[in-house]
Amino acid sequence: NKQVIFRDYVTGFPKESDMHVTSGTIRLEVPEGSNSVLVKNLYLSCDPYMRGRMNPSTDAGYIGSFTPGSPINGYGVAKVLDSGHTNFKKGDLVWGITGWEEYSLITAPEALFKIQHTDVPLSYYTGILGMPGMTAYAGFYEICSPKKGENVFISAASGAVGQLVGQFAKLLGCYVVGSAGSKDKVDLLKEKFGFDEAFNYKEEPDLAAALKRYFPGGIDIYFENVGGKMLDAVLLNMRVHCRIAACGMISQYNLEKPEGVHNLTNVILRQARIEGFLAPNYYHKYPQLLELVLPYIREGKITYVEDKTEGIESGPAALVGLFRGRNVGKQVVVVARE
Ligand code: NDP
């Protein structure tokens, strides 16, 4: 059973060498009398929140740190090989928190979601039909209170969450602009996801001026994925009653001292609302996400771009690549294809 082991807590940017792959053994059976399930992991999800789990104490608070010397874990898609739990049987496909290893014994299987729809790619349950999908759904519809015709700006727009938020906003009839960190990603936003405009933030010396160019009348909704300088620039370009969904601030995760935000006074002047949210607190709405998104996927009205690496050995590089913008779309590690 190959496993990705977390070496030790991290300061600054995480490196591939902060993890290593070992090979151990596992009994491919649930122990007698246990209500665990034994799964074969198929797809593992690389997510930015995992950086917080590499700190000795997580500021996220709701999910613990990784344990040095032990395998890391995170969201994934898996197949049940053996089950001691009445809700699951051999052959079931599930998504939820699993180990970064080929096979995992899951001791609290109640938290797993059973996969019912298999006419779409299974790997989508790490993305559009999994945690990032719930993030986009809750963040956009619940936090942003969007209305047709509003001006929407999304940062890290080509990623797992951003690409979906942008397409939700377009389907609602909003004017949508995204920022991303390369020309290829900017092209993807405009050509594949149908954003009205997109720009490479790395090539804009003055972010506030760039936003003014795309939003001469101001921004109604900002879906915040990056924080730092981008947030400050948005605060200078808000319309009255602007809403900011504070989803993530990836530009801050590897800094020992987070950058300051300077333009908060504008929240008062523009009577804006900034609201943070955590996707897992909306999992009770998962059926609504499926109901909304599955038809769109089947009809080709929403597309979802994934960046897949092959083999569990590719996991550490794929995970740390998120913080350098190496992923184009949702980063997935393929452990096995059933
Ligand atoms: P992505 O697929 O977007 O991958 C991360 C991307 O972030 C990179 O590809 C890179 O894109 C961008 N990035 C990396 N470093 C920086 C930086 N210093 N400044 C600006 N951009 C940077 O990730 P997700 O879609 O999974 O996550 C997006 C955000 O949503 C993250 O902040 C994450 O923490 C947050 N999140 C929050 C959840 C919640 O419950 N609140 C749940 C899930 C995600 P580029 O090349 O464009 O720079």
Is the pLDDT score of 329 beyond 60? Answer: yes
The 10s digit of each residue's pLDDT in 1-24 is: 999 999 999 999 999 999 999 999
Reported ipTM exceeds the 0.95 cut: yes
State which of 161, 199, 230, 331 you would mutate to test the pocket of ligand 1, scoring each by most atoms of that ligand within 8 A of its C-beta. Answer: 161
pLDDT for residue 34 is more than 60 = yes
User: Which tens digit of pLDDT belongs to each residue from 224-278?
Assistant: 999 999 999 999 999 999 999 999 999 999 999 999 999 999 999 999 999 999 9
* Angle made by CA atoms 175, 170, 149, in degrees to the nearest 5: 40
Within a 10 A sphere around the Cβ of 94, how many other Cβ atoms? 23
> Which residue CA neighbors atom 19 of ligand 1 most closely?
251
CA trace torsion 148, 149, 152, 157 (10° rounding): 70
Q: How far apart are the C-alpha atoms of 322 and 181, rounded to whole Å?
A: 12
Q: Whose CA is nearest to atom 36 of ligand 1?
A: 248
Residue 45, H or E segment = strand 37-45
Q: Is pLDDT above 90 for 173?
A: yes
> Average pLDDT for residues 168-178, to the nearest whole number?
98
Tens of pLDDT, residues 281-315: 999 999 999 999 999 999 999 999 999 999 999 99
Q: Would you state the pLDDT for residue 76?
A: 98
For the whole model, what pTM was predicted?
A: 0.97
Instruction: Calculate how far, in angstroms, residue 304's C-alpha sits from the geometric centre of ligand 1.
Output: 16
Q: What are the pLDDT digits (tens) for 61-109? A: 568 999 999 999 999 999 999 999 999 999 999 999 999 999 999 999 9
Going by alpha carbons, the residue nearest to atom 16 of ligand 1 is: 251
